[in-house]
Amino acid sequence: MSSESPWDIESAVPAGARPRDGWWAALAGVVATGAGLAVAELVAAFVDPASSPVLAAGGAVVDGVPGWLKDLAVSWFGTADKAVLLATMGVVALAGAALVGLLERRRPPWGAVLLGAVGAAAAVLAARRPGANVAWALPSLVGVVVAIVLLSVLLRRVEIWFAEDERPGAEWRYAVDRRRFLQWSGLTAAGAVVALGVSRAVAAGGRAVRVAREAVRLPSPATTAPPVPAGADLGVDGAAPYVTPNPEFYRIDTALVVPQVDPGDWSLTVTGLVDEPFTITWDDLLALPLEEHHVTLACVSNEVGGDLIGNALWLGYPVRELLARARPQAGADMVLSRSTDGFTAGTPLEVLQEDDRQCLLAIGMNGEPLPTEHGFPARLVVPGLYGYVSATKWVTELKVTRFADEQGYWTPRGWSALGPIKLSSRFDVPRPGDDLPAGAVTLAGVAWAQHTGISGVEVRVDDGEWVAAELAETVGPDTWRQWRLEWDATPGDHLVAVRATDADGNVQVEAQAPPAPDGATGWQTIELTIA
């Protein structure tokens, strides 16, 4: 084979009326890329329909094109602009896939490298879509790996097919190898069609639950929450609002794909060490007198100063009442709540039974049905306990049991069986490392001691005295409280610390502890450079 130009391998192929291998390499690129995209769609159906590389890339184009081009597209194509966009993307993808195949045949590994780069870019785009999380990168990544593997398999068939062979019987081998290549390509294409079909079916299931969620009309509460006082929000720019909007609420769970639970199929069973086990349906639950409470949820994995915490208005039915109806037996001390996806949390029975603690089987969050990723149709909310021992989402069972007999999901994995939330406070503004001009600087943030309440927040600059911050109003002890302090900043580098005091007079612990096994401690200290 002459090595003058890698672009004309076929000049080395023995004479005869043979098709040029470049076309077949291009076809291999198209089939492999198409199959990779189909697999990506399948993964996306489980993660989130919007995480598909096609939609992510399309969305990024829509968000990214300059306004004049968007206007031009709309004026040219009207409401067909999206169809035109998708068609354009299809043509570009087809040409790109063919190029990938040709490139990989002529100059390996550059075809695979190009494919990998495009896949990685799609993964980044998907993970940066509004409302996305890192899992949204998964469809693109899985898809591109599958595409690269298939590309190498198919091109291997092309290579064998077009290998130089002068021995007797070469023509016959040639026909066999061609058939092999076509069989592999056909099989791959068929697999892609199956993957696409399954992804459509799965996505339809998710859509059904989305439609069911949109159809839910939350009953008005029998007991409404006290109104949020105007002074609960100090209105400092960049500080967390008193009530966290649902799209900004932190999300923590072990679910790789968000469980899709149709309220029509949902029920909750109270069982275990009880005299009267029972099951309620969604309609039963909606007919009960519901209550509203503001409660600040927090994750045990939150580092000092971290943002795995949020405050919402929850609508639900008191767990206390459900337990009273089931009548727990003597000796029981824990309720193991279980989710459809197998997650469990172990909560002290007596916490759930306390008269003045509003533990809810919640169905509403800030005035709307629970978002699916926050547990639709129902979850637990327990003031004062970290989420991993209390806040089971997609909950379908409450089993009354004993700590001696059973454990929640995280306990055998090294986290404490009991998880009361620790008194803590944090800075929201300024951000650590901010460069600021000398003079009046606003320091602000939140402090929390759920179910006990916050009575004070203090700030210390360098080795100075602790200075009391202004405290915002709150609806009660179960939520966080904003704080603010005006500081007359002097030039230089400063270390600024914050600490809170709870309503029982306990001061936030100074000693630093990591989140495991039962929650982080320490004072958040930020470094600021004042010019």
Ligand X SMILES: Nc1nc2c(c(=O)[nH]1)N[C@H]1C(S)=C(S)[C@@H](COP(=O)(O)O)O[C@H]1N2
Binding site for ligand X (CB under 6 A): 249-255, 297, 299, 339, 341, 343, 374, 387-388, 391-394
Q: Binding residue for Mo ion (CB under 5 A) from 299, 335, 444, 496?
A: 299
Least CB distance to ligand X at residue 252 (A): 4
Of 385, 489, 395, nearest to 442 (Cα)? 489
Least CB distance to ligand X at residue 284 (A): 21
User: Angle at the Cα of 452 (from 447 to 457), degrees rounded to 5?
Assistant: 30
- For residues 24 and 388, which CB has a smaller minimum distance to Mo ion in the complex? 388
Least CB distance to Mo ion at residue 506 (A): 23
**Residue 219 contacts residue 288 (beta carbons within 8 Å):** no
Strands in 481-489's sheet, in edge-to-edge order, are: 424-429, 439-448, 481-489, 470-471
- For residues 51 and 372, which CB has a smaller minimum distance to ligand X in the complex? 372
- For residues 260 and 392, which CB has a smaller minimum distance to ligand X in the complex? 392
Least CB distance to Mo ion at residue 36 (A): 35
- For residues 136 and 388, which CB has a smaller minimum distance to Mo ion in the complex? 388
Least CB distance to ligand X at residue 365 (A): 8
* Interacting residues of 507 by C-beta distance below 8 A, sequence separation 6+: 499, 500, 501
Interaction between residue 385 and Mo ion (CB under 5 A): no
- For residues 392 and 411, which CB has a smaller minimum distance to ligand X in the complex? 392
Tell me how many residues contact Mo ion (CB under 5 A): 4
Q: Choose among Mo ion, ligand X, none what residue 250 binds, the Cβ cut-off being 5 to 8 Å by kind.
A: ligand X
Which residue, chain included where needed, has tokens 């206007």?
A: 71
Count Cβ atoms below 10 Å from residue 301 Cβ, excluding itself. Answer: 18
Of 469, 424, 464, nearest to 443 (Cα)? 469
Q: Binding residue for Mo ion (CB under 5 A) from 139, 387, 420, 515?
A: 387
Interaction between residue 343 and Mo ion (CB under 5 A): no
Token duo for residue 427: 């800075």
Residue nearest to Mo ion (CB): 299
- For residues 36 and 387, which CB has a smaller minimum distance to Mo ion in the complex? 387
Residue 422 half-sphere exposure toward CB, CA atoms < 13 A: 29
Which DSSP string corresponds to 106-166?
A: HSTTHHHHHHHHHHHHHHHHHHTSTT--GGGGHHHHHHHHHHHHHHHHHHHHHHHHT----
Q: What is the CA radius of gyration of the chain?
A: 30
Residue nearest to ligand X (CB): 387
Least CB distance to ligand X at residue 372 (A): 11
CA atoms of 410 and 299, how far apart (whole Å):
12
Residue 476 amino acid letter: G
Least CB distance to Mo ion at residue 136 (A): 21
Interaction between residue 515 and Mo ion (CB under 5 A): no
- For residues 295 and 475, which CB has a smaller minimum distance to ligand X in the complex? 295
Which DSSP string corresponds to 383-412?
A: TTB-GGGT--SSEEEEEEE-TTT---TTGG
Sign of the CA dihedral 292, 296, 301, 307? positive
Least CB distance to ligand X at residue 111 (A): 41
Q: Choose among Mo ion, ligand X, none what residue 161 binds, the Cβ cut-off being 5 to 8 Å by kind.
A: none
- For residues 130 and 505, which CB has a smaller minimum distance to ligand X in the complex? 130
Q: How far apart are the first and last CA of the chain?
A: 69
Report the site for Mo ion in 238-297 (rule: CB under 5 A): 252
Q: Choose among Mo ion, ligand X, none what residue 394 binds, the Cβ cut-off being 5 to 8 Å by kind.
A: ligand X
Q: Choose among ligand X, Mo ion, none what residue 184 binds, the Cβ cut-off being 5 to 8 Å by kind.
A: none
User: Angle at the Cα of 188 (from 184 to 194), degrees rounded to 5?
Assistant: 145
Least CB distance to ligand X at residue 298 (A): 7
- For residues 348 and 387, which CB has a smaller minimum distance to Mo ion in the complex? 387
Residue ranges in contact with Mo ion by CB under 5 A: 252, 299, 387-388
